[in-house]
Each structure stands twice: as structure tokens, then as C-alpha cells.
Amino acid sequence: MSGDSRVILIVEDDPAFARILCDLAHEVGFECLIAGTADEGALLARQYLPQAVILDMHLPDHTGLSVLDRIKRDTRTRHIPVHIVSADHDDHAALASGAVGYLFKPVSRDTLVDMLEGLEARMDQRLRRVLVVEDDPRQAEAIHLLLASRDVETVDVQSAADCLARLGEETFDCMVLDLNLPDMSGLDLLERLSHDESVAFPPVIVYTGRELSEEEEMRLRRYSKSIIVKGAKSPERLLDEVTLFLHQVVSELPDEKQQLLARSLGRDAALEGRQILVVEDDIRNIYALTSVLEPHGVQVRIARNGIEALNELARAADSDGAPVDLVLMDVMMPEMDGLTCTREIRKQGQWHSLPIIALTAKAMERDHRECLEAGANDYLSKPLDVDKLLSLVRVWMPR
């Protein structure tokens, strides 16, 4: 790869489609790297730092969301724009995790060329623009101080009407929205934007000081990439989300912003306070898994075989306490093995959608297929890779 070349990484397991993408990328002036699995994709992104990634969701080893998660949680790669091209309709989770766009297969040649040209335009754009919709001048100033830099310009508006006017005339890379506006609620504004073809609708980060009802949260999730409730920890979360959607290179940020980001990435909103059942008979593995998960705020429950696991799930369902959010299931265990236990869990309606990640000692394709056929959502081969484990747990954790 020559020093000044532009490189696109294509993560796609269908060789014919990967070839089509690669030929088109060459026509637009890119060089290509191709990865056929999720793990290879995550590795090549870290190794070569490409200018953009085109990612399929349906890969032979793991879901494409795990590649996206690993790219976006590593400060060296999180600025790289990732565009999804997939037959899977998982666009909401992908866009909320920082993907720049989502195309559903089958895709026409013209659409693919538009996507590549869009990625190219993004690379050439240095200045990023953020629209801040906030009627409290002190809050607007605080957000400006947090986000503005040499490469980021913030534009403040105080009302929904001003917001609509600005979006009709100018383009923004991202919008930070307070829900309490003098002329219209933020929710109604989002509704307007989603129906009005004449104004652009950039990614929205809702930054609000009030508690949301469940119904409001559901409505918001339809439009907003992210909802940040203002609180003691929120400035770093806001910086984290905005730099993610602006695709800023972390090493180019001022030191204090890099430290804020490191803090935000270290804390894990997806895992904080969640209940994970670890089904494993080897005490060393239990210890290793617990020491990885607990620092991220996970409550770990332990079962030593399949029978204990079924009892633990039943107990969690009966009690008033927190139900189990996800299961890490060892395959080889005495009394009742992991595959049998997984099949038993899937027979019961209430656990039909409980995420189960199988832990296998063997990295054989047949074993992996058996895990998925038994009802596991995903699998990990031992010895466990910590990054990959955390990434899969985040990806499968119910949102």
C-alpha cells in the first residue's frame, strides 16, 4: 500500500460480492483490503487503519455488529467511517453504534457508487459542524466549550423554529438537542424532521435534563441515535457520542478531551448493572470471566452445570429481583452439557429471546454450527479473548 493511497477495508464473506465492491472501489480511486470473517475484519482495521470500512452483518464467525463495536471502542480506529451493506435488517442497532449508513442487499451498482463517493467526500471534509438546539444560554455555552475545536464548529439555536430554518439552509454532521424548547417539544420537532423532505435530518443526540417516561423513550429511540440524560457523568458521554458521529481522530483531540473520552469508554453503559449467568464447571474459567465482567458493572451469577443453570433461571424468573439478561454457556460440563441445557432453555417460551453465547473448547466449524443449531446466538472459542468476549456481550445484551 503506498503511503498516500486511500484504503477501504471490505468485510464480506461472499467472494463474488466482495469482488464487485472491490472493482467499484478501484474505479473511484481506492485500494482495497478484503476480510472474510468478523475477527479478520476487526484485526485488519486495527492493523492498517483504513480510511473507510464496508461491512456485511452476516459473517461466518460473528455478527458484523461485533466488528463495528470493536472498531468504535478502540480509540485508534473509532474515527473510521463504517458503512453497512447487508441483507440483515439490523440497521437501528448499527446506526446507534456509530455506522455512517446502511444499505440493504440486493444493491444496485449506482447506489454502491453513491455510497463510495459519499465516503470519499467524508474523507475530504475537515471541518465538522454541530447544531446545538438549547434554549438555556449557559448550557449552550458549556456544550460549545466541550465540543468546539479547530475541526469542529458549533452553531447554537434557541428554538425549534430556528432549528428548522437552519436545517433547511445548511448541512450539519450531527445535532445535539434539548427536549424542553420554548415553542415546541423536542419530540414533536423530531417528528416534524422525520416527515419533512425539504430539511436535512442529521444524527441526533438528545441531551436532556429531565427523566423520560418509558413511552417518551420509545418514541425518541425511533429518531435519536443516542439519548443522554444530563447528569454528573454526562459531559464525557456527550463528548464520546459526538466524536463518534463526527468520526474525529482521538489522537488529534486536546489532551483533556482524550482523557474524558478514555473515561467514558472505560465505563460501559451497555453492561452497567446487568445480570449475566456464567454456566461453567472449571473454577479457573469462572474466576477469569468474573474478573473481566465485574469491573464493567456486571452482576455475575454462577451455575456449575446445565441443571444448576435451569434452576438459577427459574429462581431469577420467580423472584422480585433482577432477571438474567444474558447467559455465557460452557459446552463441555458434567451432568448436563451446554448444548442440552441451551435446547432446554429454548423450549420454554419465557426464555425464547434470552441471549446465549456458547463457550467452546474446540475451534471446529462443526462445533460452532452445533451451538447455533441448539439455539445459541453466538459462540466464542477458548482460550477466551477479552476484547472479543466484551464485544459479543455488548452486542447481544438486550437494549
Three cell numbers written together for 282: 472449571
Spatial neighbors of 272 by CB under 8 A, at least 6 apart, are: 296, 297
Q: Is 112 among the domain residues?
A: yes
Let me know whether 169 and 250 are in one domain: yes
Let me know whether 54 and 89 are in one domain: yes
Let me know whether 257 and 149 are in one domain: yes
CB-CB contact of 35 with 9 (8 Å): yes
Let me know whether 257 and 135 are in one domain: yes
**Statement: residue 307 has pLDDT above 90:** yes
Question: 200 or 288, which is more confident?
Answer: 288
Q: pLDDT, tens digit, for every residue of 241-269? A: 888 888 888 888 888 889 888 888 777 77
Q: Is 2 among the domain residues?
A: no
Picking from 223, 249, 266, the residue at the C-terminal end of a domain is: 266
Which pLDDT does position 357 carry in this prediction?
A: 96
Picking from 124, 150, 174, the residue at the C-terminal end of a domain is: 124
SS3 154: strand
Q: Is 1 among the domain residues?
A: no
Which pLDDT does position 30 carry in this prediction?
A: 93
Average pLDDT over residues 165-191: 91
Domain span at 210: 128-266
Average pLDDT over residues 190-215: 85
Residue 68's pLDDT band (cuts 50, 70, 90): very high
Average pLDDT over residues 192-196: 87
Let me know whether 300 and 262 are in one domain: no
CB-CB contact of 267 with 273 (8 Å): no
Average pLDDT over residues 355-368: 83
User: Secondary structure of the chain: what % helix, strand, coil (to 5)?
Assistant: 45, 20, 35
Average pLDDT over residues 275-301: 91
CA–CA dist 313, 277 (Å, integer): 8
Nearest of 96, 98, 93 to residue 83 by alpha carbon: 98
Let me know whether 117 and 135 are in one domain: no
Q: Is 259 among the domain residues?
A: yes
Percent of the chain with pLDDT over 90: 49
Mean pLDDT of the chain, nearest integer: 88
CB-neighbour burial class of residue 182 (10 A; exposed 0-12, middle 13-18, buried 19+): exposed
Residue 182's pLDDT band (cuts 50, 70, 90): very high
Average pLDDT over residues 29-42: 94
CA–CA dist 165, 276 (Å, integer): 47
CA–CA dist 143, 141 (Å, integer): 5
Let me know whether 194 and 237 are in one domain: yes
**Statement: residue 129 has pLDDT above 80:** yes
* Beta strand extents in 45-164 (DSSP E only): 52-55, 82-86, 101-104, 128-133, 152-157
Q: Is 70 among the domain residues?
A: yes
Query: Distance from first CA to last CA of the chain, Å, rounded?
Result: 40
CA–CA dist 279, 93 (Å, integer): 27
CA–CA dist 122, 56 (Å, integer): 20
Let me know whether 120 and 28 are in one domain: yes
Picking from 266, 296, 324, the residue at the C-terminal end of a domain is: 266
Q: How many domains does the chain have?
A: 3
Let me know whether 25 and 74 are in one domain: yes
CB atoms closer than 10 angstroms to residue 252: 12
CA–CA dist 379, 87 (Å, integer): 21
Which pLDDT does position 4 carry in this prediction?
A: 58
Residue 320's pLDDT band (cuts 50, 70, 90): low
SS3 139: helix
- For residue 17, the domain's CATH number is 3.40.50.2300
Which pLDDT does position 363 carry in this prediction?
A: 65
Let me know whether 79 and 200 are in one domain: no
